[in-house]
Amino acid sequence: MSRSLSQDIRRRIVHWRIEEGREIHEIAQLAGCCDNTVYTILRMYRESGELHNVNAIPYGRPRILNSGDKAYILSILKAMPSLFLDEIQDCLWNHRYVDVSLSTISRALRGM
């Protein structure tokens, strides 16, 4: 799967075509993508006024712990740094009604 283009590059693609009148092939070289990608971005912008597909279905599994849950974990660890994973798990369930495994908590802590 190819990398997705940032919003800034997508904005520039539209600018280069509409404001500066550059050719598709030149825009593709400047943006580091293929001609078809440029055509797709310009079509989406023309049809919806958006730089990305607003109807796209997100892919991948939704995260169990959201940013609020992670902030809560950090706050209880700052208050009580010697908590074990099972105690963090109990706090999450009792105060945030989030049921997660010990390994999920461990991975979240490693990622923080």
Q: What pLDDT, in 10s, does the model give residues 23-48?
A: 999 999 999 999 999 999 999 999 99
pLDDT band at 1 (very low <50, low <70, confident <90, very high): very low
Q: Which of 46, 52, 50, 58 is nearest to 17 (CA)?
A: 46
**Token representation of residue 1:** 């799967």
Percentage, residues of the chain above pLDDT 70: 97
DSSP state of 22: -
**CB neighbour class for 29 (10 Å; exposed up to 12, middle 13-18, buried from 19):** middle
- pLDDT of 60 > 90? The answer is no
- pLDDT of 111 > 50? The answer is yes
**CB neighbour class for 24 (10 Å; exposed up to 12, middle 13-18, buried from 19):** middle
Which of 52-56, 69-73, 98-102 has the weakest average pLDDT? Answer: 52-56
Mean pLDDT of 59-87: 93
- Beta carbons of 88 and 76 less than 8 angstroms apart: yes
